[in-house]
């Protein structure tokens, strides 16, 4: 087996065998060890909506309504619901208990929503936007009403990832209380046991769980940020399964009878944000280094950059098939996705024409920022895009950095807390899979009180788009709502508010004897693992 490993993988394998005392090759076949791509930053489910955190919180805590594998709402803690009028939804809670044996009540739901609104210092909390404008009115221990200030046709989707916590244990609880386990008392399929930052999160099956019992009684989630190191850990037997398999290793693992590989098209779109608020943008200059008015304020230049990207080549060669070229911000078939939009073609000649029409026949120089450790092949994709832009006359310097630094600087590292970078690449994953989410998060005019534009790092603002989004979130008729959101998407593409690049295809690998039933989001849930012969 080792003869098939590359030198880098051998080095990674050696590092894992030295550093990892936990072995999947133990006699405890009821324990599942998962190598994850990112480290946990908090056990508090209302603090930081991060993929690694969500894997834990969605295992320990339940929402009222949960998403199925295709992100459609199905019963969670609420066994049923009905809409009383345009502003009032009624939910009937099932007989479920928290991990300490106390029943889940409507008062716990009320407390959870109140707490979610009061979370302090959250670096990126999508929950707040989901629950604003909603009032919880308990009718009894098992019956509650959610009253909204405007019609909210997507209320089920918006609460499907919001964790319900115990008032008894979470009142006045700090993040440290959750991290230590004192307040981390949920009602999900797994109980939280311990978190050792940088080393592991340990979970145990909750045998009194109201739903289907997970296959494995004990789960250890180990952060292994390096892709080759994750693969080496799997091959060495130090873990049972890994997420985000590097594209360079997929074919090799598929050829090895000891392992199984599972692919799932994802809803995460890789996109490029452009500075839409500064004439003197920091990362763009003329070829001779002199200052120029920001070219990317002109939609023709934004379109030139979009047409200068060969998405097919990136998907086939850089991503090795683990990507789908994009022409909008949600996959085809998503709620509100436009049927009229196809992947943006590669047309370097037209890109050069648009640059000339905008007054930049010779192009300009651009510094392009990206994460270096967050998404599959993010460095290689950024470098490929930089080379493609250079070919159309936009000399591009690619700068990559750790995700934590990238998001802090890209969100508020500039003067007065403004975004620092002129052009950056990141990824957006709609928690509900609906097309309206990336529009609201990435392109709506920033409005913290309304939960709009929370990740709008280009500070794009278009009143016409905002008006369509207002109409879409209040439209109760499904067909009419989809049509409004599709038009909003078309408008955003016409103006090239944000450049879509591709949708990811997520990949898991595991030893034989285990199979995985993932959903279309990025979250790796231990309950998705099953034993097979």
What domains does the chain contain, in order, with CATH numbers?
A: 59-166 (3.90.76.10), 266-504 (3.10.105.10)
**Which pLDDT belongs to residue 34?**
98
Contact of 267 with 71, CB cutoff 8 Å: yes
What per-residue confidence (pLDDT) applies to 433? Answer: 65
Do strands 31-36 and 218-223 pair parallel, antiparallel, or not at all (unpaired)? Answer: parallel
Specify the 3-state DSSP secondary structure of 128: helix
Torsion of CA 244, 250, 253, 259, to 10 degrees: 50
Distance (Å, whole) CA 38 – CA 201: 12
- For the stretch 367-380, pLDDT in tens is 999 999 888 899 99
DSSP per residue over 260-285, as a string?
EEEEEEEEEEEEEEE--S-SS-TTEE
As a whole number of angstroms, the distance between CA 382 and CA 396 comes to 10
**Cβ atoms of 317 and 392 closer than 8 Å:** no
Write the CB contacts of 506 (distance below 8 Å, at least 6 apart in sequence): 243, 244, 263, 264, 265, 266, 518, 522
**Residue pair 114/127 in contact by the 8 Å Cβ criterion:** no
Determine the distance from the C-alpha atom of residue 185 to the mean position of all C-alpha atoms in its chain, rounded to a whole number: 25
**Consecutive H or E run containing 370:** strand 364-371
CB of 195 within 8 A of CB of 59? Answer: no
Residue owning tokens 């199984």:
260
Contact yes or no for 16/238 (Cβ under 8 A) = yes
Question: Which helix (H) or strand (E) segment is 529 a member of?
Answer: strand 529-531
Query: Taking the CB of residue 75, how many other CB atoms lie within 10 A of it?
Result: 16
pLDDT-flagged residues of the chain (< 70): 1-28, 70, 120-133, 430-433
* pLDDT tens track for 205-261: 999 999 999 999 999 999 998 889 999 999 999 999 999 999 989 999 999 999 999
Q: Give the number of other Cβ atoms within 10 Å of residue 161's Cβ.
A: 23
Rounded to whole angstroms, the Cα distance separating 509 from 515 reads: 9
pLDDT (0 to 100) of residue 16: 40
Residue 399 tokens read as 């700068």
pLDDT at site 126: 54
> Both tokens of residue 130?
């989901």
Question: Helix (H, G, I), strand (E, B), or coil: what is residue 156?
Answer: helix
- From the list 264, 426, 438, the residue with the least C-alpha distance to 336 is 438
Percent of the chain with pLDDT over 70: 91
pLDDT for 3 equals 32
Q: How many helices (H) and strands (E) does the chain have?
A: 17, 20
Q: 32 - beta bridge partners? A: 219
Q: What is the sign, positive or negative, of the torsion defined by CA atoms of 246, 247, 248, 253?
A: positive
As a whole number of angstroms, the distance between CA 188 and CA 204 comes to 11
Give the start-end residues of each E strand in 25-164. 31-36, 65-67, 73-75, 78-85, 88-93, 134-140, 143-148
Calculate the CA dihedral of residues 37, 38, 44, 46 and round it to 10 degrees: -90
* Predicted pLDDT of residue 71: 72
435 Cβ partners below 8 Å, 6+ apart? 328, 329, 330, 334, 335, 336, 337, 338, 485, 486, 489
CA 192, chain centre distance (Å): 23
SS3 content of the chain, % helix, strand, coil (to 5): 35, 25, 40
Q: How does pLDDT run across 295-332, given as a tens digit for each residue?
A: 999 999 999 999 999 999 999 999 999 999 999 999 88
| Predicted pLDDT of residue 78 | 97
> Both tokens of residue 223?
């952060």
Residue 77 to residue 79: CA distance in whole angstroms: 6
């Amino acid at each position: 087996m080792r003869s098939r490993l590359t030198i880098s993988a051998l080095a990674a394998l050696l590092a894992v065998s030295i550093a990892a005392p936990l072995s999947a090759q133990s006699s405890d076949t009821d324990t599942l060890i998962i190598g994850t791509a990112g480290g946990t930053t908090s056990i508090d489910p209302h603090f930081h909506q991060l993929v690694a955190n969500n894997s834990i919180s969605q295992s320990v805590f339940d929402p009222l309504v949960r998403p199925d594998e295709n992100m459609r709402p199905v019963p969670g803690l609420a066994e049923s619901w009905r809409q009383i009028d345009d502003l009032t939804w009624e939910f009937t809670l099932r007989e479920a208990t928290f991990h300490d044996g106390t029943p889940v009540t409507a008062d716990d739901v009320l407390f959870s929503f109140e707490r979610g609104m009061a979370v302090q210092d959250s670096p990126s909390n999508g929950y707040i936007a989901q629950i604003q404008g909603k009032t919880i009115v308990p009718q009894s221990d098992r019956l509650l009403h959610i009253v909204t200030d405007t019609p909210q046709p997507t209320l089920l989707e918006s609460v499907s990832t919001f964790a319900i916590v115990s008032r008894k244990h979470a009142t006045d609880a700090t993040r440290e209380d959750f991290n230590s386990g004192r307040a981390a008392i949920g009602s999900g399929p797994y109980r939280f046991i311990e978190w050792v930052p940088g080393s592991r999160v340990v979970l145990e099956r909750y045998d009194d769980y109201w739903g289907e019992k997970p296959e494995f009684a004990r789960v250890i989630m180990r952060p292994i940020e390096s892709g080759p190191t994750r693969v080496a850990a799997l091959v060495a037997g130090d873990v049972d399964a890994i997420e985000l398999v590097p594209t360079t290793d997929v074919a090799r693992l598929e050829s090895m009878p000891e392992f199984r590989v599972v692919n799932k098209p994802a809803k995460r779109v890789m996109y490029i944000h452009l500075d839409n608020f500064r004439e003197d943008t920091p990362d763009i200059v003329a070829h001779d280094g002199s200052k120029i008015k920001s070219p990317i304020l002109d939609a023709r230049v934004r379109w030139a950059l979009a047409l200068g990207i060969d998405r097919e080549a990136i998907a086939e060669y850089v991503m090795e098939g683990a990507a789908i070229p994009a022409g909008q911000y949600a996959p085809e078939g998503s709620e509100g996705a436009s049927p009229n939009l196809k992947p943006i073609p590669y047309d370097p000649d037209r890109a050069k024409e648009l640059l000339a029409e905008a007054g930049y026949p010779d192009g300009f120089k651009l510094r392009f920022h990206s994460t270096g450790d967050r998404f599959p092949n993010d460095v290689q994709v950024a470098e490929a895009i930089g080379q493609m832009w250079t070919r159309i006359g936009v000399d591009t310097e690619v700068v990559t950095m750790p995700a934590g630094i990238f998001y802090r600087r890209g969100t508020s590292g500039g003067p007065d807390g403004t975004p620092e970078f002129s052009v950056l690449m990141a990824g957006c994953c709609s928690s509900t899979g609906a097309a309206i989410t990336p529009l609201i998060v990435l392109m709506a005019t920033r409005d913290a009180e309304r939960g709009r534009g929370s990740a709008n790092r280009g500070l794009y603002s278009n009143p016409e788009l905002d008006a369509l989004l207002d109409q879409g979130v209040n439209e109760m008729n499904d067909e009419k709502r989809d049509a409004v959101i599709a038009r909003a998407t078309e408008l955003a593409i016409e103006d090239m508010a944000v450049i879509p690049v591709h949708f990811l295809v997520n990949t898991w690998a595991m030893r034989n004897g285990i199979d995985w039933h993932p959903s279309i989001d990025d979250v790796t849930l231990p309950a998705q693992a099953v034993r097979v012969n």
